[in-house]
């Protein structure tokens, strides 16, 4: 995690070990007559923090604070160490104390906002970013970060405005293009999204995420070959990029290239055998190949890894239905519905299975539930037609 004040230290890696050694030697040269000061312990803690020895750093910061309970820098740095340990509540407590002692220090509010974000407390994060902007109104990092907070709150207009502001201040800040493109993708403004991802790629051609997101956008435009090309590039840049393999597999499905889809799922599983979604997608590819028993085996594996996957139950239910194993399919559709009570497709397919068992009254009930659970006109129309066919009223 890049903290605000670390941005200006990123060019100082060369010689850092030498500097650290000199500082440590200087500390060891303190005589017994010279007690360590709060600053001495702070400096030692900072060295430990930069070396990612966060627990040891906290011990040093504790010593610093015990000597000087009003030492804002010690609280701030201890907060950074807690942040890296994912102890966000403790980090925020330290940032609170630091802000009380040094209310005009920009990085305190920025890093506290980051900690709030990790706790999904985005309204509090926004308040801190607002304070940052009051202190430093032309800092592109802050507008970009606030835009991300707005995005998490689904306040997309405000998010776009902040990314716009970021790019006005720093036209080559590719993160803002990437972030704004992500918003446009969510808003289904696909052409705008592609333009932003193009700019991100132009500014940072080694960033696999921009290719990945542009690939996702091409999928929404049914431009599957372009999508696969972007996923290829993302994987070349980041060979462990599981989501890129998985999305490429989904795209191969759209092109009826099911063996390639299975191969991509196998790559994901080889990298991370615990990735349940890879087994689900592999099962889908087997279904397209009419290899239903193999599909069911994959869904079984997915459910061992993620018993809360409504999609895996639904897909397995479909496979059972094709094999005319209607009781098993109904059980799976019921499980999917219990996990997602608005799962309209599961109600619909449950109705199909019940109808095939000649349990017409129950089937009509399931079709009605599918209609009540969705705004999808296709499902509503199909379910309504089946209800009428069986003598009911939608």
At 3 the pLDDT is 59
Over 60: is that where the pLDDT of 34 sits?
no
At 58 the pLDDT is 98
Average pLDDT, the chain: 93
pLDDT band of residue 36 (cuts 50, 70, 90) is confident
At 269 the pLDDT is 98
At 22 the pLDDT is 39
Percentage of residues in the chain having pLDDT higher than 70: 91
pLDDT in tens, 257-274: 999 999 999 999 999 999
365 alpha-carbon distance from chain centroid: 38
Over 70: is that where the pLDDT of 31 sits?
no
At 237 the pLDDT is 98
**Domains in the chain and their CATH numbers?**
1-102 (1.25.40.10), 240-307 (1.25.40.10), 310-394 (1.25.40.10)
At 35 the pLDDT is 72
pLDDT band of residue 288 (cuts 50, 70, 90) is very high
Evaluate whether 178 touches 196 at the Cβ level (below 8 Å): yes
pLDDT in tens, 323-371: 999 999 999 999 999 999 999 999 999 999 999 999 999 999 999 999 9
At 325 the pLDDT is 97
Percentage of residues in the chain having pLDDT higher than 90: 90
pLDDT in tens, 124-138: 999 999 999 999 999
pLDDT in tens, 82-120: 999 999 999 999 999 999 999 999 999 999 999 999 999
Total residues found in the chain within this entry: 394
Over 80: is that where the pLDDT of 170 sits?
yes
Other CB atoms within 10 Å distance of the CB of residue 169:
16
Over 50: is that where the pLDDT of 60 sits?
yes
In the predicted model, what is the mean pLDDT of residues 219-243? 98
């Amino acid at each position: 995690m890049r903290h605000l004040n670390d941005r200006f230290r990123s060019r100082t890696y060369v010689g850092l070990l030498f500097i650290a050694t000199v500082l440590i030697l200087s500390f060891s040269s303190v005589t017994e007559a010279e007690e360590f000061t709060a600053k001495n312990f702070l400096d030692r803690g900072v060295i430990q923090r930069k070396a990612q020895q966060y627990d040891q750093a906290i011990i040093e910061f504790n010593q610093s604070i015990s000597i000087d309970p009003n030492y804002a820098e010690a609280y701030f740095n201890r907060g950074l160490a807690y942040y890296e340990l994912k102890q966000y509540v403790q980090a925020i407590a330290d940032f609170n104390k630091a802000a009380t002692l040094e209310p005009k220090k920009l990085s305190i509010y920025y890093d506290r906002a980051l900690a709030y974000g990790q706790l999904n407390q985005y309204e509090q994060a926004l308040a801190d970013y607002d304070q940052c902007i009051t202190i430093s109104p032309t800092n592109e990092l802050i507008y970009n970060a606030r835009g991300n907070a707005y995005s998490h709150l689904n306040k997309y207009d405000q998010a776009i405005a902040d990314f716009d502001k970021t790019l006005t201040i720093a036209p080559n800040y590719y993160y803002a293009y990437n972030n704004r493109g992500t918003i446009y993708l969510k808003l289904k403004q696909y052409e705008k999204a592609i333009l932003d991802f193009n700019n991100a790629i132009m500014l940072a051609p080694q960033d696999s995420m921009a290719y990945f997101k542009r690939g996702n956008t091409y999928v929404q435009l049914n431009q599957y070959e372009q999508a696969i090309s972007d996923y290829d590039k993302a994987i070349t840049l980041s060979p462990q990029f599981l989501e890129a393999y998985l999305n490429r597999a989904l795209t191969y499905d759209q092109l009826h290239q099911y063996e390639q889809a299975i191969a991509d799922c196998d790559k994901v599983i080889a990298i991370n055998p615990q990735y349940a979604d890879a087994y689900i997608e592999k099962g889908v590819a087997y279904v397209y190949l009419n290899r239903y028993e193999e599909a069911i085996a994959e869904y079984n594996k997915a459910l061992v890894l993620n018993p809360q996957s409504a999609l895996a139950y639904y897909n397995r239910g479909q496979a059972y239905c094709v094999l005319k194993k209607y009781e098993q399919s109904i059980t799976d559709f019921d499980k999917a519905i219990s996990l997602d009570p608005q799962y309209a497709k599961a109600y619909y397919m449950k109705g199909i299975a019940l109808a095939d068992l000649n349990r017409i009254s129950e089937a009509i009930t399931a079709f009605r539930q599918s209609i009540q659970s969705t705004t999808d006109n296709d499902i509503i129309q199909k379910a309504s037609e089946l209800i009428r066919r069986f003598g009911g009223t939608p």
